[in-house]
Each structure stands twice: as structure tokens, then as C-alpha cells.
Chains A and B, each alone.
Chain A
């Protein structure tokens, strides 16, 4: 199946993002590390005025806004609008193996991953987060243009590009791949990113036949984009081994995510695209990004 046009993905992503609703960061994330420019439309740390409120006994004296309090008898405290804008960086595996689907009717794994990224970016950007592509070259942006910029940047990834360097500033990372490369390779790739990104999600997108392994008889396998082929005399004989490996890789990636303090979400393209969105949102909730 050829790559879906970006515009189509954008439209689908917008629809999905609409389903997802508004993602907003939770108070727990209101640390200095997360200072940003996006107003949260509620009181909190920020530069812009939000509201005056009555002074309560819990408030320290320093917080009293004397200029406002001088006009009336009561003491007022000046509150600023919470500004906790975070940066979300998306990365999709550009390898041919990921840019592949088993059947013409099934979407490419990469397309599905991109769709999810864009949907997520749409939802996040609506709530003021900044979204961008990891290693995309352009800075993360917020607002309506964020999903398409994420999409364009990801589409521009070249298959032979090395894994991007970690971002300079803290961010949350969404890494989409099938994670079939060796585990150590992924650990080496992700560890530097995780050092910069406390939050992150590993999204594994698989093709149904990769999960089901419906092969029998004499089969010659090859990996897309690679010349090497492997002839299996009786494909069904290694079915169990394969399924074990497949499950183990999922578990390994889950463990790796936990090790990095991230979440691991797996998705099969035969499922509805919105299924993993919830999991992704949930993942971010747990990692401090939630409504």
C-alpha cells in the first residue's frame, strides 16, 4: 500500500483528535522545569495576570498585592495564569520495514503511527502544548499548525538517517516504531533521549500478520528494504518460537520503557486507530500529562 497522502492523514488525525478531547497538563507537572509560555487559563505560575483573590490565612504575607489591597479594605492576592507549556516531540521509524503493510487493504504501519502522532499532536496543541518532530529540525509549535508540522517533519525523515540526537530542552517524547531492531540498539538510542525527556511513550505499531504469523509450508521470508532472505522449510515449525520471540520483545520493550520512566503502548494496524489513542493519553496522564 502506498503512503497515504498527508492531507488525508491530517483530516483523519483531526477527527481522532476531536474524539480525544482536550488534553491538559495536570498540576503535578507544574514544576519549574515545565515553565513555558502557554497560558493554562487557570491560576498558577506564569507571567500573565490571572486574577485577584482574597487573601487567606494560608497565603504568606509576601503574596499580598498591596496596590490592589490599598484600594479596598480587604487584602488581595495577585495570581498569574498558569503557564505550563510542554514540548512534545514525535518520532516515527522511517525504516522500510516500518513503512510496510502486509496487504493492500491494511494501512502502512508508518502511516498508522503518523496518524496517531498527528492526532495526538492535534489534541495536545489544542491544549496549548507545543509539538514537534524529534530531530525534525524545526522547533516545536503549538496551535493548529502543530499537527501538520509534525506530519510534514516526520514524512521528511529519511530511512538512512541515524536516530536523532536528544533535544536540548526537556520535552515529552513519543517514539513510534515496530521495535524489531535489537533491544540493545534501542536502549542505546533511547537512553540519551530519556535523559532529556522525563516523559515519553514508546508506541509499537505492528502488522496483523506479524502478530499472528499465519505461515505454513516452504516459505522464503525477507525483510523489506533488505536483500537477505531466509528460507524456512516448514514455516509452521518455527511458529511457536516466533510467537515467543514476539511476545518477549513486547515485554522487553515494556521493561525498557519502565526503565526509562516511560510508557509502552502497542498497537496492531488491524485495530481501530482510536484504540491506542486512549492508551497514549492514559500514558501521558500517568507521566504527568493529562486532562
Chain B
């Protein structure tokens, strides 16, 4: 249904407009419900200004606003579209022509939308059938005269897929002419390419009815026209349909499995429509490339399949002989050099010329009869590459097929009868295809054939020795190349075959020909059967039954079509690709004046208005809300309190979110609460679970013994993270150093220093005491940054030896010395009243103390049995006492014992 230039796709929604007057009444009758109050003193207000009566009704303009919003919403739901050209008379129906070749694939959605828009336009008047015609040939042709209703036409378009070949408009036109169809109007949704038929086709259409051409042309690079392996990797040629400058496209190299192994970005310069992308892919990787693809342009033409021929040149080794000593074989080195990069065939020369061969490598060979000479010449001129190597036989031959005339003798360098020394190869001239190959510096050329000096010799030389004599010469013959290495193919005359440069030189020589995979490459026998075919969007899939084998003789002239879809074909000559992208069609711009043309046609298509109307309706509703709030006198409050509350809620939520990962903080708080509530020891969590468990069990054992024997009754020990947890709450923190310990983080060091300064006790146990070595040498690194004064071994009369038990040493599972702060000895500069805060040892005390939390049995064995363990506990208890009481025990309590001990020592001294 249409209304002026508007077209409504859902005209039934317009029935909602009938409801508008009703809604008008409703809206008028129900202003926002005010609060109701009884007020007897209202009588006093009888004569008070009557103006406040007005808001009792919604103001007319607000009402109007709401009605507009409503009307817009209804219109929006009716999906209006701007279709000014929908007025064309469509008596006789509308014919919609759709280009559905692969050139349409990139913009397929747009093309289909354009066509669907035409269906919508056609359906609005209710008159006339709709006919849809696709221009790409199909194996089962549709009858374009079939009359469709709008819905089935839309469905047909929805289900349509682009073909993997190009449209054949002439055939389509013939098909159309064969039908009695007389359309009233024609809409041609085209890809905008010529296909050698655009002008004629549009004229033909225009002669039938008013024709409307709507173009959706690919915006960027749309087709790969060729992809060749080059010496550096691969070169991919792409074309685009526009001439917009500064456009780039991404070309992706994919493996057969679809993994992309390389991509390169090309920029179209200026108004060029073609560009070439170079893929610097290593040769080995290049062999894995199965296809190239234009990123973002999914079409059959945007994919270039690589077949065997394209990937690897076919190289024939002529007249090889089985030899008893393969290393001395003439072709051994060439074969080895080319094997990774080329398909090698070894046949007699005559047979090679019949086979699909790109290059022939011929060893030292003398006479070639005239017939063979002619065949060879013809073969080269068709694009073959003949690589000859010199040798005694060639040197003896006059008038041989060589790029340059040769002197009848060879030149020997550095032999016993020569003054000359073996020559090295000079840098490759920059005109040479070999340019860029590193010069083999250690290669000596001992013998070579010499070219007759001539004026063109310079330009024919690809490589020369340091003294300037040509080493490799080549001559372009037709499309092919005749190349002569002036040395033997084996190391007889030179070291060249030994070098890597030889490989590169051969590789480049092999691909220097004009046209590889020429007609000869295919052979003429047999057929090529499709194995994998591309669909219109450039996706490989198994072929349909309609795909036919192609005779090898006609393969190269075969264009992609319904029976021969682009894809990979297998024949006796190996795998061949039939690519859609070449030759790429050209854009067509000279539209005849009979047709009306719309570029980038989807713009005139449906989408827009409904959404805009709905959006506008929503905007009005939003404005209405604000107005209503203003009327109710709520706006300031909304700005004030509610907004504040809203912000508060928002920030609260945000804060909650930010704090959400702070679970550790909570755990840390929990630890701190527990630690503050009861005396308990702590150990540093090292991340080594076993070690942590042992340390924990050790502290538990010590706590247990303390509880048994003393009035110190610590609770279960805590594991702490020095970087996060509150250390100040623990009287003692035990650090059992793991084997692979890392230094503390800066935050941890700062906290541990703070802990020590505030009077904490930090016990470091490296657990590796050994005779003659107290603590790990690594300790200094581990405790880097810990604010430790000079350390000394605890002397034998230190208060640690008498703070609870009288002990003589500080044993754990091992028996090393205990290092304490020397300040604790030096009474003048003592800190913390001379009580050491840092205890360092390697005796694995925790291991000795450790007991099983459930059974109470010792966790680890130790030398000396229960006796030694008891001593370890005594040390532990002394340590805790020292930590808790400082040097209180230094005097008084044990005076009798001390005196006795002093006495005995004096006695002993005596």
C-alpha cells in the first residue's frame, strides 16, 4: 500500500490510526491522577485566582505531542518506506532482473535488498504479477515469466545464492525473449560489470519496458586475476571496480585446511584498478599454500586456487643415466637443488618436449640434431626454459644451441699448467634475475667455457666471475629463455654445485620462463574431474552432480559455468585449478540513456523510515515524561534528592564491583581479627604446599609443647602473605625458605621491615645447614632489602641459652649455628632493648617441631631420635620465651645455675 511517495509494508498497522481519536479522549480524560485531599477550609479559597484550574486538563500541546508520538509509532510499525519512483505503472507486472554471478557475491545482501525493495514497490499497487529473472546460467533454468506474488518473490530472492561463475546476460535475454512476458516495468539489480553485455542488455530491457538499473558494485578489490610463484615467494594480482585512491585490500594465503599462513596488504595507487601483492613466503611454506583469498570479499573470484602446476614448476632432467656412482652423476646436484621446489621428471629430451614441462635441464651435451634443435627452439619460444650446463662436450661443439656464441675451447684456471688461479664468482649484476642472491665467496671456478666477446654479451650475462668473464648467460627466445651455465652441472669444473647459491640460481632460472603450465603442461589426453568446487561466495565444497569432467584438451579454454564450476579438477596431469577470477570483468559505466540508473542502489531501499519514526516517537515519549514530571512539580526533586540517591546507588554499586575482587582483603581481615584475639605464631606462605604444611605443623608442635610446659598457650598458627597481611599482630613469624625461593616483593620487604622495627621476631630457616656452612649463600639475595643490622652467630652465653631451659646449642633437625642481630650483643647500640628481631639459621627447626595435628606424632624423622627432638623443642621454647620476654631472663632467675656454670668454667679454666 502506498501513500504518496511512501510505501507501507505492513499497512494493517495503519488501522491503529483509527484508535487515535479514542486515545485522544482517553488521554484527555486521564490526566495524571493528583493526590486527593479533603479540606473544609477550601471555602476560603472560593474567590482565589481561578487560573490553577488549567492543569486539570492536559494542555493541548502536550496532548498533541502525545498524539504525534502515537501516530509516529503506528506509522513506524506500518514500516513506511520512501519510494518516490514507486509510481511507475506496473500493469503487466514487474520484471526483476538480478545479476547473480560471483561478481555479485560481495554485495549479495545489498543486491537482494535492492531486488526485494523492487518487489515491495511492485506489490504496493496490488496490480501486476512479479517476475524474477537471474542472469547467471544455471543447469536448471528458471522460467522468468513465472508470475509470483510478493511474498513468494521475496522468498525466492531470500533463498537465492550467487553462482560461482559470471552472468550470461545474453542467454538470459534470449530466454526472456522466448517467453510471452510483457512486463510493465523492469528493475535490474546489477553488479555493475560489463560482462560484454551490459549495454546491449540494458537497451534490450529498455525496449521492453521502463527499466530501472540499480547497481551494487563491489567496493574494493573483488577478484584475484592471477597468482604466481616467484623467486621471493608469490605474486598475486587483484583488481577492483572503483578508482577511489588510497584503498587497501588484504590478501590472505591459506593452506588446504583453511589456515591462513600469510597475509599481505596492498594499496591501490591513484586510479589504478589493478594491483599486485607480493608474498615473501619461504619456499617451503609456499608449497603449503593452497589458495589466496581477498579478505572481506567473499566471492568465487576473490579466491585463487593453486594447483600443482602453479605451485611448483615442472622441471625435466634430460637424458639422465643411471649411474653406479650417483654422487658423480651429472644431474645429481641439480636434482638435489630443485627437488624441494619443483616437480622433477627425468626423461629423454624428446619425450620431455612432449610432456608438460616448464623447464628442461640439460647436462653437458654435444651434438643435437637439427630436428631436435628446431623442436627445442620452438619449445623455448612457446615459453619453455632450457638450462644447459657446459662441459667438455659442449666446449667441443660448434654452433650449439647456446645463448651466446662460445669459443671453441674451454678455459682452465688454476691448473698445473696455468698461471691463473681459480676464480670466484662476482656479485650478481642488478640487471640479472640472480640479483639479490648472496655471492658465494668460497666458490672457485676452475674451468669454464668462454663466450665470444660481443656487444650484447654484457646484457646477456646473468652471472660472471670476478675477472668479468661470464659464468651464466641467457637469451630470451620468444616467451622462453635459453640459459647456459658456463660450468659443468657437477663439481668437475667448479665448486658452484656445492653452494646454496646454486640452488637459488637454478630456482630462479627455472621460473624465468614466460608461460608455465602452458598448453603442453596439461597434455591432451583424458579428462579432468572436479574434486572440490567453489560456490559463489568462494567456499570450497564437494561438487554437485551437475559438475562435469572437462576434457584436458579444452581445460584451458574452459570458462567457469554451471557444468564447470570453478574449483579443483584432477586429471592424468595432476591437479588443476579452474579459477573464476581471470579474466576479471570490467566495470560498466556507459549506461544508455533509456534506462534510469541508481548507483549504490540499496540506499533507496526500504530500511529507514520505520525505525526513524519509532525512534522519534520514543524521543517524544521521553520528552513527554519530562514535561509530565515538570507539571507534577517533581522535576526539581528528581534533580535533587532522587538524583543524589541515584548517584549514590550507582557509586555504591561501582564501589561494590571494585571491591568484589577484594576477597583476599576479607580473608586478611579475618586473619587479623583472629590474630588480635589470641596469641599465635605465623609463617610466611611460600606457595610450596608441602613446605607450608610442614612449617605449619612445626609451629603447631611448638605451640603444643609451649602449652604443655609453659604459660604461653598459643593458638593455631597462621599462614601469612607478607605483602598483604597484617604482620604486626604476630609475635613471631617463621620463614622456611623453599629451595627455589624468590626474593620478597618490595611491598613484602617494606612490611617485614616495619614488622621488625615494631619489635617483631622474624625467623628465617634455610633448612640446609651443613658442617662448615651455616646458611645458604643465597640468603643475601633472598633477604635483599630486609633491614638487617650486622649479624653474628648467637654466642654461647646468649640469653637464648637460658631464657627457659638451659641449653648449649640451637638444634633443629640439623644442627647449624643461629645468627642473630649483632646489635643484640652490642649493648650500646641495641635496638629493641638489645633483643634481636632477626633469627637466621639453617637447622630446620620447624621440621623438628612438626607434629601431626590429629595424632600428635612427629611428622618428620630426625637424627638422634626423641632426645634430639626434645632439644629442638627446648630451643623452640627458649626462642619463644626470648621473643616474648626479651632479655628479662638474662639475669636473676638462673643466677645459682649461672654461678655454678661460671664456677665450673672457672674451675675448668683453672
A residues apposed to B, CB below 8 Å? 97-98, 100, 102, 109, 178, 180-182, 206-207, 209-210, 215-224, 229-234, 236-238, 241-242, 245-246, 249
Instruction: With CB as the reference atom, state the residue of chain B lying closest to A234.
Output: B633
Alpha-carbon separation in the docked complex, A220 to B33 (Å): 9
For A178, what are the chain B residues with a Cβ–Cβ distance below 8 Å? Answer: 40-41
A233-B52, A242-B45, A245-B48 known; A216-B633 Cβ under 8 A: yes
A218 touches B49 (CB 8 A): no
Q: Mark B20-46, 1 if CB is under 8 A from A, else 0.
A: 000000000000101111111111111
A218-B32, A238-B49, A241-B48 known; A181-B43 Cβ under 8 A: yes
Alpha-carbon separation in the docked complex, A274 to B632 (Å): 42
B38 touches A220 (CB 8 A): no
For A180, what are the chain B residues with a Cβ–Cβ distance below 8 Å? Answer: 40-41, 43-44
A223 touches B44 (CB 8 A): no
Instruction: With CB as the reference atom, state the residue of chain B lying closest to A97.
Output: B40
Partner of A233, one of B44, B54, B634: B54
Alpha-carbon separation in the docked complex, A68 to B46 (Å): 71
**Smallest CB–CB gap between B234 and chain A, Å?**
78
A219 touches B35 (CB 8 A): yes
Alpha-carbon separation in the docked complex, A255 to B321 (Å): 145
Instruction: With CB as the reference atom, state the residue of chain B lying closest to A218.
Output: B34
Instruction: With CB as the reference atom, state the residue of chain B lying closest to A98.
Output: B40
**Smallest CB–CB gap between B539 and chain A, Å?**
65
List 24 interface pairs A-B (beta carbons < 8 Å), by A numbering: A97-B40, A97-B43, A178-B40, A207-B40, A209-B39, A210-B40, A215-B37, A217-B634, A218-B34, A218-B55, A219-B34, A219-B35, A219-B36, A222-B37, A222-B42, A223-B39, A224-B40, A230-B53, A231-B53, A236-B633, A238-B48, A241-B45, A242-B41, A246-B44
A224 touches B38 (CB 8 A): yes
Alpha-carbon separation in the docked complex, A215 to B36 (Å): 10
A238 touches B52 (CB 8 A): yes
Partner of A237, one of B32, B42, B52, B631: B52
Instruction: With CB as the reference atom, state the residue of chain A lying closest to B44.
Output: A245
B residues apposed to A, CB below 8 Å? 32, 34-46, 48-49, 52-56, 631-634
For B632, what are the chain A residues with a Cβ–Cβ distance below 8 Å? Answer: 217-218
With A100-B38, A218-B633, A220-B34 known, 11 other A-B pairs at CB within 8 A are: A102-B38, A217-B35, A220-B36, A221-B36, A221-B38, A221-B45, A222-B42, A223-B38, A231-B53, A231-B56, A234-B52
Interface centre among B37, B38, B49 (most CB of A within 10 A): B38
Alpha-carbon separation in the docked complex, A185 to B739 (Å): 107
For A215, what are the chain B residues with a Cβ–Cβ distance below 8 Å? Answer: 37
List the 8 closest A-B pairs by CB distance, nearest first.
A233-B55, A97-B40, A218-B34, A231-B56, A180-B43, A210-B41, A245-B44, A220-B34
For A207, what are the chain B residues with a Cβ–Cβ distance below 8 Å? Answer: 40
For A234, what are the chain B residues with a Cβ–Cβ distance below 8 Å? Answer: 52, 55, 633
Alpha-carbon separation in the docked complex, A109 to B39 (Å): 13
**Smallest CB–CB gap between A25 and chain B, Å?**
35
B34 touches A231 (CB 8 A): yes
For B46, what are the chain A residues with a Cβ–Cβ distance below 8 Å? Answer: 182
For B49, what are the chain A residues with a Cβ–Cβ distance below 8 Å? Answer: 238, 241
A221 touches B39 (CB 8 A): yes
B40 touches A230 (CB 8 A): no
A215-B37, A218-B35, A219-B37 known; A230-B42 Cβ under 8 A: yes
Alpha-carbon separation in the docked complex, A208 to B40 (Å): 12
Instruction: With CB as the reference atom, state the residue of chain A lying closest to B634.
Output: A217
For A210, what are the chain B residues with a Cβ–Cβ distance below 8 Å? Answer: 39-41
Alpha-carbon separation in the docked complex, A222 to B53 (Å): 14
For A222, what are the chain B residues with a Cβ–Cβ distance below 8 Å? Answer: 36-39, 42
**Smallest CB–CB gap between A225 and chain B, Å?**
9
**Smallest CB–CB gap between B371 and chain A, Å?**
113
**Smallest CB–CB gap between A88 and chain B, Å?**
27
For A249, what are the chain B residues with a Cβ–Cβ distance below 8 Å? Answer: 44
For A102, what are the chain B residues with a Cβ–Cβ distance below 8 Å? Answer: 38
Alpha-carbon separation in the docked complex, A233 to B41 (Å): 18
Interface centre among A206, A207, A220 (most CB of B within 10 A): A220
Main secondary structure of the interface of A (DSSP, over half): mixed
Give the A-B pair count, Cβ closer than 8 A. 99
Partner of B55, one of A97, A98, A221, A231: A231
**Smallest CB–CB gap between A129 and chain B, Å?**
32
Alpha-carbon separation in the docked complex, A216 to B632 (Å): 9
Interface centre among A215, A223, A233, A234 (most CB of B within 10 A): A233
A219-B35, A220-B36, A238-B49 known; A206-B54 Cβ under 8 A: no
For A209, what are the chain B residues with a Cβ–Cβ distance below 8 Å? Answer: 39
Alpha-carbon separation in the docked complex, A219 to B55 (Å): 11
**Smallest CB–CB gap between B38 and chain A, Å?**
5
Alpha-carbon separation in the docked complex, A223 to B40 (Å): 5
For A218, what are the chain B residues with a Cβ–Cβ distance below 8 Å? Answer: 32, 34-35, 55, 631-633
Alpha-carbon separation in the docked complex, A220 to B53 (Å): 10
**Smallest CB–CB gap between A269 and chain B, Å?**
12
**Smallest CB–CB gap between A226 and chain B, Å?**
9
For B43, what are the chain A residues with a Cβ–Cβ distance below 8 Å? Answer: 97, 180-182, 223
Interface centre among A102, A218, A230, A241 (most CB of B within 10 A): A218
For B631, what are the chain A residues with a Cβ–Cβ distance below 8 Å? Answer: 218, 233
For B53, what are the chain A residues with a Cβ–Cβ distance below 8 Å? Answer: 230-231
Partner of A242, one of B32, B34, B38, B44: B44
Instruction: With CB as the reference atom, state the residue of chain A lying closest to B39.
Output: A221
**Smallest CB–CB gap between A94 and chain B, Å?**
13
Alpha-carbon separation in the docked complex, A206 to B44 (Å): 13
A242 touches B48 (CB 8 A): yes
Alpha-carbon separation in the docked complex, A17 to B43 (Å): 33
Interface centre among A97, A109, A215 (most CB of B within 10 A): A97
**Smallest CB–CB gap between B60 and chain A, Å?**
15
For B56, what are the chain A residues with a Cβ–Cβ distance below 8 Å? Answer: 231, 233
For B41, what are the chain A residues with a Cβ–Cβ distance below 8 Å? Answer: 178, 180, 206, 210, 242, 246
A218-B55, A234-B633, A241-B48 known; A223-B42 Cβ under 8 A: yes
**Smallest CB–CB gap between A241 and chain B, Å?**
5
For A182, what are the chain B residues with a Cβ–Cβ distance below 8 Å? Answer: 43, 46
Alpha-carbon separation in the docked complex, A209 to B46 (Å): 18
For B634, what are the chain A residues with a Cβ–Cβ distance below 8 Å? Answer: 217
**Smallest CB–CB gap between B30 and chain A, Å?**
13
B52 touches A232 (CB 8 A): yes
Alpha-carbon separation in the docked complex, A233 to B32 (Å): 11
Instruction: With CB as the reference atom, state the residue of chain B lying closest to A207.
Output: B40
Alpha-carbon separation in the docked complex, A104 to B411 (Å): 131
Instruction: With CB as the reference atom, state the residue of chain B lying closest to A109.
Output: B40
Alpha-carbon separation in the docked complex, A113 to B37 (Å): 23
For A98, what are the chain B residues with a Cβ–Cβ distance below 8 Å? Answer: 40
**Smallest CB–CB gap between A149 and chain B, Å?**
28
For B45, what are the chain A residues with a Cβ–Cβ distance below 8 Å? Answer: 221, 230, 238, 241-242, 245
Alpha-carbon separation in the docked complex, A209 to B54 (Å): 25
Instruction: With CB as the reference atom, state the residue of chain B lying closest to A95.
Output: B40
Instruction: With CB as the reference atom, state the residue of chain A lying closest to B43.
Output: A180
For B34, what are the chain A residues with a Cβ–Cβ distance below 8 Å? Answer: 217-220, 231
Instruction: With CB as the reference atom, state the residue of chain B lying closest to A217.
Output: B633
**Smallest CB–CB gap between A142 and chain B, Å?**
34
For B52, what are the chain A residues with a Cβ–Cβ distance below 8 Å? Answer: 231-234, 237-238
Alpha-carbon separation in the docked complex, A229 to B42 (Å): 9
Instruction: With CB as the reference atom, state the residue of chain B lying closest to A209.
Output: B39
Interface centre among B40, B42, B633 (most CB of A within 10 A): B40
A221 touches B42 (CB 8 A): yes
For B42, what are the chain A residues with a Cβ–Cβ distance below 8 Å? Answer: 221-223, 230
Instruction: With CB as the reference atom, state the residue of chain B lying closest to A206.
Output: B41
For A216, what are the chain B residues with a Cβ–Cβ distance below 8 Å? Answer: 633
Alpha-carbon separation in the docked complex, A102 to B38 (Å): 8
**Smallest CB–CB gap between A61 and chain B, Å?**
64
Instruction: With CB as the reference atom, state the residue of chain B lying closest to A242.
Output: B45
**Smallest CB–CB gap between B638 and chain A, Å?**
12
For A100, what are the chain B residues with a Cβ–Cβ distance below 8 Å? Answer: 38, 40
**Smallest CB–CB gap between B639 and chain A, Å?**
15
